[in-house]
Chains A and B, each alone.
Chain A
Amino acid sequence: MSTHPQSSRYDAIVIGGGHNGLTTAAYLAKAGRKVLVLERRHVLGGAAVSEELHPGFTFSVCSYVVSLLRPHIIRELRLARHGLQIIPLECSFLPLPNGDSLARWSDPERTRREVARFSRNDSERLHEFGLAMTKLCWLAKRIIDSPAPDPASLAPRELLKLLRLGRTMKDDPTDLRWLNFKLLTMSAVDFLDLWFESGVLKAPMSVSGIIGTFLGVRSPGTAYVLLHHYLGEIDGAFRAWGFSKGGTGGISLAIAGAARAYGAEILEQSGVARVLMQGGKAEGVVLENGDTVHAAAVISSVDPNRTFLQLVGEQHLDDEFAAQIRRYRLRGSSGKVNLALDRLPEFSCRPGDGPHLFGDIAIAPGIDYLERAYDDAKYGDFSRRPYINVVIPSLVDPSVAPPGKHVMSCFVQYAPYDIKEGPSHWPERREAFGDTVVDTLAEYIPGLKESILYRQVLTPWDMEQEFGLTEGNIFHGELSQEQLLFLRPAAGWARYRTPIDGLWVCGSGTHPGGGIMGAPGELAAKTMLASRAL
């Protein structure tokens, strides 16, 4: 494949072939613009990528489940036609060290019976909690599906937008509005305490509040992250998570297929060395191979840190903005262990091949366990007993492993980027980290170690080096309030525009944030088209 662009001038160049960059490219190409996407790696997808790491075994190397991908993007880009297929997760399974376990099913009555074994009260409150979350999601959906309003602006259009947002909230019942404020300020555990008493139930629910965030389940602000993980929908059902057929790379490839069908040019193995600056304006990019390509708009889908401090360079930024970007919190907190298995793992607490394994499996046997895992990380170590979120996609999508064999994806938290030896020492600790994960899992799955055919361990350092995620942050920046909405990535610059003329951003480091959502990419493209920037 040629790694030289076909042309020397484009309407738009997108830096990074992850799902957001590809989404922006697809929308711009659909609108008739001449678009070039430049991906550094040999494979598209960024962190939504599938790779055959071991013969016959295809892994969702980084992100591993999908929920937030906006349904209207699927429709507008006709992603189903380009191969997007999502298979819902059926269960959330929690094995416990004492031999007990809790499975939460898509069948609510079955879940109620399971939860009742731990707390009858909780089992009967599940429904109310679900309803409240649905209402909160319905509220938040209006926010994530449009560009962030600008509260500092006095422009009539902006004021009107804020007014409209306030109006929609006005129609909501008062208790829902209070709940919304609580959600924004509370910790995940405190928020769940409003409904539930059983730690066995709350622990696996609270972890949604810490994923990708350097906070503990008892840290204020984590309740919002919890909602962020509820917001996703599959076919209209909130909180539905699914596997992408062929791994999460399938999503990126479907978007790339759409982009190409609309005429976008996409190059792999074409890393961008820097943004070409002329007279304070972004005029194009210089590739790592020395090629120079010009464009009316340069759009970066990589994280804000990498975009501004590495590809542009601080010399082109004013001090205030540069300081904001330097302070933008990345703080990667998670790692990933991918295993190829020669048989299906069997949990001692609930033997058998499913259906409790047909979803996600959480190693989160208590709130104190999770908080202790955070304690290790606070002082620069990976958790001795981490929170692990396991999925075995080969159970519902046999295309990713040979018959009878399985892939097991383990998301692991905490693995702080800043270990006490310094981030660059991660490679020396990588295998110890992997051993910790496998040892932890083996406490629940006695035969696990013997069944491992291949193991890949990704530390935050690896995610930075290989996938370009600065400090290994999976969301291109924490989803904490001071970095959300009109503050993402920097106050005053939340509308995909940047202080540099001709340079735009469209990655997860912009509103509404990370997760395989596509919304930043879509909203960036639509904003650009509406502003007639190209």
Chain B
Amino acid sequence: MPVPTPFHPRTSGLCHSLLWKEWSGYYAVCSYDTCHEREYYALRHAAGLIDVSPLFKADLEGPDAAALLSLVTVRNLRKLRVGRVTYLCWCDDDGKVVDDGTVTRLGEQHYRLTGNGPLCEWLKRYSDDLDVEIEDTSDRYGALALQGPLSRAILLEAAGSDVEKLRFFRGKTSAIGGVPVLITRTGYTGDLGYEVWVERDDALAVWDHLIAAGKPFRLQPAGLDAMDVTRIEAGFVLCGVDYFPAQHCLLDSRKSSPYEIGLGRAVNLDREPFVGQRALREELGRDAVWNMVGLEYDWNDYEVLLGSYGLPPQVCSGAWRDAVPVYDLRERQIGQATSGAWSPLLKKNLALATLKSAHAKPGTRVRVEVTVEYERRAIGATVVATPFFDPPRKKS
């Protein structure tokens, strides 16, 4: 049975819909209301507050913290300056992705790693000869994602002016209502936004303070359903949905390299050895077999297809994650769309898809399966670059 997050006493009172899901062993709100729409619009037009405490966290401290993270992950973290955050992944020896997450450098010898799955055992496999303390801080810290165009204004109210100049992918310690917190300018919505990390015993005070500060700005607690639509608009892959952790895959064909899931730019290949380096170097020489791409469905095709059944066009209001086949124009399967959503903001049906590299160039026309009245049909779609949605305010 799942366990409550540090914010559960507040979120449970607000979750009138009783729509919860299990996330890494925790109770997580799908949507506070019966439909996630209001929360989605708050994320895009005001701000939303999402409990992301179930993320796994590990704190690494010691002279060799940088060396360990640089050995395990695809990035050279010695170069990451204090107060900066980076997004990366880590691989197995075959160069297949194990997980993705962020690293924040909190001090000269202090880093925090986040991920979708447990972190510490994997890190300890490589830390034997290194002088580094690894602490699983997953349960120690609660985390809130404050996301949306008004998130900065709210945080200025709640934490004071020292967050005003916090730039994209930077972090700093601060205080909210007298409670020490770490604030990073990160998030999973592809918008202006922050994540607030707090010791679990102080979690409720920080929640209350943010909610109070956010009231005049129409801050809305938001659940995972709303976040899922925003992360697709942002073109962010989701571990376990758009790709699978290598160490959990029964079939090799299910595993992905960083280059295949759009994380190639995170790889610092030419440096001292790291896990998966040789395999990645070889792969780079041969070009990736698969590519993660964005797809935009043809609306007209869809309207005509539904019209032929006597139906008006419909869009589903939430994100989907049941993969469907993608075909080339001669109806040969060239990959799969793994998750997608109607974007109310962009007025487009979007999907993230893994396609054979030959078909992955933006502008390529493909066909994607849709089901109408229990019948499997296909409509046209176009390969596009992600992110689909990338507002200037995200980095401003």
Task: Please determine whether chains A and B interact with each other in the same assembly.
Answer: yes
A residues adjacent to B (C-beta < 8 A) = 71, 74-75, 79-80, 85-88, 90, 106-107, 110, 134, 137-138, 141, 234-238, 245, 355, 358, 395-399, 403-404
Q: Kindly identify which residue among B38, B42, B347 contacts A74, using a CB–CB cutoff of 8 Å.
A: B347
| Beta-carbon contact of A404 and B347 below 8 Å | no
CA A88 to CA B299, docked complex, whole Å? 21
Chain B residues, Cβ within 8 Å of A245: 45
Stretch at the interface among B175-183, B338-346, B378-386: B338-346
Smallest CB separation, B187 vs chain A (Å): 19
Interface residues of B in 300-349 (CB under 8 A from A): 312-315, 317, 342, 344-348
| Beta-carbon contact of B45 and A235 below 8 Å | no
Smallest CB separation, A146 vs chain B (Å): 14
CA A138 to CA B313, docked complex, whole Å? 10
| Beta-carbon contact of A396 and B45 below 8 Å | yes
Cβ of B217 under 8 Å from chain A: yes
In chain A, what residue has the closest Cβ to B313? A236
Chain B residues, Cβ within 8 Å of A238: 312
Smallest CB separation, A526 vs chain B (Å): 15
CA A234 to CA B37, docked complex, whole Å? 13
Smallest CB separation, B370 vs chain A (Å): 14
Smallest CB separation, B197 vs chain A (Å): 26
Chain B residues, Cβ within 8 Å of A358: 38
In chain A, what residue has the closest Cβ to B299? A75
Contact with A along B211-229 (1 / 0, CB 8 A): 0000111100000000000
What are 16 A-B interface contacts by the 8 Å CB criterion?
A80-B345, A85-B44, A87-B45, A90-B37, A90-B38, A107-B34, A235-B315, A235-B317, A235-B342, A235-B344, A236-B314, A237-B314, A396-B46, A398-B217, A403-B153, A404-B215
List 10 extra interface pairs beyond A141-B312, A235-B315, CB under 8 A: A75-B299, A79-B347, A106-B35, A235-B344, A236-B314, A355-B33, A358-B38, A398-B45, A398-B46, A403-B217
Smallest CB separation, A515 vs chain B (Å): 19
Which residue among A137, A236, A238, A404 has the maximum number of chain B CB atoms within 10 Å of its CB?
A236
Cβ of B150 under 8 Å from chain A: yes
Smallest CB separation, B20 vs chain A (Å): 18
- Tally B residues with Cβ within 8 Å of A: 29
Smallest CB separation, A251 vs chain B (Å): 13
Chain B residues, Cβ within 8 Å of A107: 33-35
Contact with A along B1-19 (1 / 0, CB 8 A): 0000000000000000000
| Beta-carbon contact of A236 and B312 below 8 Å | yes
Given A107-B35, A403-B216, A398 and B312 contact (CB-CB distance below 8 Å): no
SS of B interface (majority): loop
Which residue among A234, A398, A399 has the maximum number of chain B CB atoms within 10 Å of its CB?
A398
B residues adjacent to A (C-beta < 8 A) = 33-35, 37-38, 41-42, 44-46, 149-150, 153, 215-218, 299, 312-315, 317, 342, 344-348
Smallest CB separation, B35 vs chain A (Å): 7
Smallest CB separation, B224 vs chain A (Å): 19
CA A6 to CA B346, docked complex, whole Å? 34
Smallest CB separation, A94 vs chain B (Å): 20
CA A287 to CA B262, docked complex, whole Å? 56
CA A238 to CA B312, docked complex, whole Å? 10
| Beta-carbon contact of A236 and B315 below 8 Å | yes
Q: Kindly identify which residue among A79, A134, A404 contacts B216, using a CB–CB cutoff of 8 Å.
A: A404
CA A245 to CA B315, docked complex, whole Å? 21
Chain A residues, Cβ within 8 Å of B345: 80, 85
| Beta-carbon contact of B312 and A87 below 8 Å | no
CA A236 to CA B297, docked complex, whole Å? 15
| Beta-carbon contact of B35 and A397 below 8 Å | no
Which residue among B215, B217, B218, B299 has the maximum number of chain A CB atoms within 10 Å of its CB?
B218
CA A152 to CA B284, docked complex, whole Å? 70
The 9 A-B residue pairs with the shortest CB-CB distance, nearest first, are: A404-B216, A403-B216, A398-B218, A236-B314, A80-B347, A236-B315, A235-B315, A87-B41, A80-B346
| Beta-carbon contact of B313 and A355 below 8 Å | no
CA A236 to CA B349, docked complex, whole Å? 12
CA A107 to CA B17, docked complex, whole Å? 11
| Beta-carbon contact of A134 and B45 below 8 Å | no
| Beta-carbon contact of A399 and B215 below 8 Å | no
CA A141 to CA B342, docked complex, whole Å? 22
Which residue among A235, A355, A404 has the maximum number of chain B CB atoms within 10 Å of its CB?
A235
| Beta-carbon contact of B347 and A75 below 8 Å | yes
Smallest CB separation, A196 vs chain B (Å): 24
Chain B residues, Cβ within 8 Å of A74: 347
CA A74 to CA B317, docked complex, whole Å? 19
Chain A residues, Cβ within 8 Å of B42: 396
In chain A, what residue has the closest Cβ to B44? A85
CA A292 to CA B215, docked complex, whole Å? 54
| Beta-carbon contact of A396 and B41 below 8 Å | yes
CA A85 to CA B45, docked complex, whole Å? 9
In chain A, what residue has the closest Cβ to B311? A138
Which residue among B150, B314, B345 has the maximum number of chain A CB atoms within 10 Å of its CB?
B345
Chain B residues, Cβ within 8 Å of A137: 312
| Beta-carbon contact of B38 and A355 below 8 Å | yes
| Beta-carbon contact of A88 and B37 below 8 Å | yes
Which residue among B45, B153, B314 has the maximum number of chain A CB atoms within 10 Å of its CB?
B45
| Beta-carbon contact of A396 and B218 below 8 Å | yes
In chain A, what residue has the closest Cβ to B214? A403
Chain A residues, Cβ within 8 Å of B347: 71, 74-75, 79-80, 235
Smallest CB separation, A237 vs chain B (Å): 8
Chain B residues, Cβ within 8 Å of A134: 312
Chain A residues, Cβ within 8 Å of B216: 403-404
Chain A residues, Cβ within 8 Å of B150: 398
CA A399 to CA B46, docked complex, whole Å? 8
Smallest CB separation, B356 vs chain A (Å): 29
